[in-house]
Amino acid sequence: MPESKKVVIKVDINDNDEKRKALKAVSGLSGIDSLAMDMKDKKMTIVGDVDPVDVIGKLKNWHADVLSVGHAKEENKEPEKKDI
């Protein structure tokens, strides 16, 4: 199974209509586990097995810059407990 990545992209979006269109454009890509947009910082966060170049291609109607690409952290992973 491919390893999930976390991609953070700065997107020049000014209103909720543009936000909706941008999220819809990116959501069509395969391999996305989660997709979120922070309107305050104008950052889109994509988690999943996705190529950042493909994401930028989908956002061609808006000025978009890749801020970071890294491993997605498993948030709900609990440490293993040993019974003694």
Report how far residue 27's alpha carbon sits from residue 23's, in angstroms, rounded to the nearest whole number: 6
Say which CATH number the domain at 46 has.
3.30.70.100
Q: Which of 56, 55, 57, 61 is CA-nearest to residue 31?
A: 55
Mean pLDDT (the chain, rounded): 86
The model carries a pTM of 0.78
Q: pLDDT, tens digit, for every residue of 42-73?
A: 999 999 999 999 999 999 999 999 999 988 77
User: Are 40 and 73 within 8 A, CB to CB?
Assistant: no
Range of the domain at 61: 5-71
Instruction: Indicate whether 13 belongs to any domain.
Output: yes
Instruction: Indicate whether 56 belongs to any domain.
Output: yes
